[in-house]
Amino acid sequence: MNTNNLTEVEKTVESIPMGQKAYYSKTVTEADVAIFQGITGDGNALSTNASFAARTPLGRCPIQSELLASFTWPVSTMIASPGAVTIGQELTFFKPVYVGDTVTVVGEVTKKVLEKKFVYVQTTIYNQNDEMVADGFVLELMRVHS
């Protein structure tokens, strides 16, 4: 019998402290790239065709940028859920990420708009060399039901 308490308390914009942080790390695999391509249809040759990528300035296949962007979701979920729905995301990519790289996402609450029930979570992604590879934010709408 499972004795874990699975009851979660819904978070509100008021209950999430400014500056709260969350972290997520992931080593990217070939399977991640292939599964992402299968789910989304993102078959960009730069990310999926080694022969093509070898002829580019990168010399090899970077992972899909939106696959990298999806790694920000765990930190915003840790901070704002349950009780939130993501309604916006902005992310700027600075360096390519490759299969075998380990990325760490740092999420931090940087702004709250109480009257609109918005929580902004800055999402910064670093590679295993502590180089920033992407930076942006996720916008969470809190209290999505009455």
Q: pLDDT digits over 72-112, tens only? A: 999 999 999 998 999 999 999 999 999 999 999 999 999 99
Mean residue pLDDT across the chain: 92
Q: Is 37 helix (H, G, I), strand (E, B) or coil?
A: helix
Given a contact cutoff of 8 angstroms between Cβ atoms, the answer to whether 30 and 100 are in contact is: no
| Ordered structural domains, the chain, with CATH | 21-28+63-142 (3.10.129.10)
For residue 1, what pLDDT is reported?
A: 47
Residue 57, preceding peptide bond in cis (omega within 30° of 0): no
Q: In whole angstroms, give the CA distance from residue 26 to residue 113.
A: 31
What is this structure's pTM?
A: 0.89
How many H helices and E strands in the chain?
Answer: 5, 5
For residue 145, what pLDDT is reported?
A: 57
Give the range among 7-11, 46-50, 66-70, 122-126 with minimum mean pLDDT.
Answer: 7-11
Residue with tokens 């002829």: 55
Beta bridge partners of 125: 105, 134
Q: What is the Rg, in whole angstroms, of the alpha carbon atoms belonging to the chain?
A: 17
